[in-house]
Amino acid sequence: MVIVMRDNATEQQIKNAEQRLEKCGFKIHRVDGVTRTILGAIGDKRGIDMREFESLEGVYEVLRITEPYKLAGRTFHPDNSVIPVNGSAIGGDEIIVMAGPCSIESEEQLYTIAREVKKAGAKVLRGGAFKPRSSPYSFQGLGEEGLVFLSQITQELQMGAVSEVMEIKQLDTITRYVDIVQVGARNMQNFALLRELGRIKKPVLLKRGLSATIEELLMAAEYIMSEGNYSVILCERGIRTFENYTRNTMDLSAIPVVQSLSHLPIIADPSHGTGRRDQVVPMARAAVAAGANGLIIEVHHDPDHALSDGFQSLYPSQFQRMMEEIKTIAWAIGKTI
Ligand code: PEP
Ligand code: MN
């Protein structure tokens, strides 16, 4: 349930309400909005009369959260969440573009691509160091060595860094080097990993699973948030369908649906969403038009020799043109890039 405090509720009244809820066995999640404080109370409501909280001093109203995703839903947090990342903010009027290679292959490779995407306007550099590959014989990533390159290059170029974590045991290492920790599609329902991500102090980029419904995506976010980390950025990256012309089917309608259900920002990944270079730019433009809070795009200076996902990686020149195009689209809908 959600306890909405009055605009003028005192700190003491808020504390009193928190204590009463805790006594009843609820776990409290507090959000201090611009005008009022909201207390999310998660726990077993059986045998508890909600009216008891309505009469507390400073309480404006008590609402029942009917959605299964309590913290990720709009009842608990009506305003959009804006997540700061390295001097930028995801979830506001600015569209944040993350770009870079699928995998970090060498310092030189990452540096070459990073300079290009930075010049074109990307705010965050992507690059996988631990790679979830369909084949165990494919390149598995450089591991920590790759993260060192990512961290050094992003510091020099003043960009944010995002990279994927695959296992709990990588978490300590990865959080030392990146600004955003990515959870890949294949791990969206790795609940043990999600819980651990709920205990870190960095934003999490949570990608939609290959066959996950929107509700399952929001429930995965809920796992992270239930442990106290509210900085979750969702990502639509395409889902498995019967269609073979594309690697995945980019579900653009998920963007407005998520935005109506949840306060969390949602970005789009048209690289994995389509899997084909010629389809990435049109779907990037469409995602911005659909209201995505950002994009994550694979870019490679020599995609024919990329160690992963070369066929869906844009050339730097294509990426630069895409950035110009999406600026116009952003402007048309009252946003900036
Ligand atoms: C990636 O970002 O390179 C990646 C493996 O993404 P996904 O988990 O969406 O397949
Ligand atoms: Mn990839």
Rounded average pLDDT over 77-87: 94
Is the predicted pLDDT of residue 107 greater than 90, yes or no? yes
Q: Is the CB of 128 under 6 A from ligand 1?
A: yes
pLDDT digits (tens, 9 = 90+) for 136-173: 999 999 999 999 999 999 999 999 999 999 999 999 99
The secondary element (H helix, E strand) that includes residue 47 is: none
Residue 130 Cα to ligand 1 middle (Å):
11
Closest atom of ligand 1 relative to the 182 alpha carbon = 2
132 C-beta closer than 6 A to ligand 1 = yes
- 68: Cβ below 6 Å to ligand 1? no
How far is the centre of ligand 2, averaged over its atoms, from the C-alpha of 181 (Å)? 15
In the predicted model, is pLDDT for residue 26 greater than 90? yes
Q: Whose CA is nearest to atom 9 of ligand 1?
A: 185
Q: What is the mean pLDDT of the chain?
A: 96
Atom number, ligand 1, closest to the C-alpha of residue 269: 9
Say if ligand 1 is within 6 A of residue 184 CB.
Answer: yes
Q: What fold, for 83-332?
A: TIM Barrel (3.20.20)
Assigned superfamily of 2-63: Phospho-2-dehydro-3-deoxyheptonate aldolase; domain 1 (3.30.70.1140)
| Burial class for 69, CB neighbours closer than 10 Å (0-12, 13-18, 19+) | buried
CA of 68 to the centre of ligand 2 (A): 31
| Alpha carbon distance 6, 14 (integer Å) | 10
Query: Same CATH fold, 83-332 and 2-63?
Result: no
- Percent of all residues in the chain with a pLDDT value above 90, rounded to a whole number: 92
Q: Where are the chain's structural domains? A: 2-63, 83-332
pLDDT confidence band for 45 (50 / 70 / 90): confident
Q: Which atom from ligand 1 is nearest to the alpha carbon of 235? A: 9
Q: Determine the average pLDDT of the residues in 195-210.
A: 98
Ligand 1 contact, 275 CB (< 6 A): no
Alpha carbon distance 313, 11 (integer Å): 52
Q: Is the CB of 272 under 6 A from ligand 1?
A: yes
Ion ligand 2: residues, CB within 5 A, are 102, 309
Those residues whose C-beta lies under 8 Å from the C-beta of residue 50, and which sit 6 or more positions away, are 1, 62, 64
Give the mean pLDDT of 113-123: 98
Cβ(207) – ligand 1 distance below 6 Å: yes
Task: Tell whether the model's pLDDT for residue 51 goes beyond 90.
Answer: no
Average the pLDDT over 87-99 and give the result. 97
The tens digit of pLDDT for each residue in 244-301 reads 999 999 999 999 999 999 999 999 999 999 999 999 999 999 999 999 999 999 999 9
Mean pLDDT for 193-214 is 98
Q: Which residue has the tokens 């066959």?
A: 211
Separation of alpha carbons 118 and 79, rounded Å = 31
**Ligand 1 closest atom vs CA 132:** 5
What integer pLDDT is reported at residue 43 of this predicted model? 87
- In the reported structure, the alpha carbon of residue 298 is separated from the centroid of ligand 2 by a whole-number distance in angstroms of 7
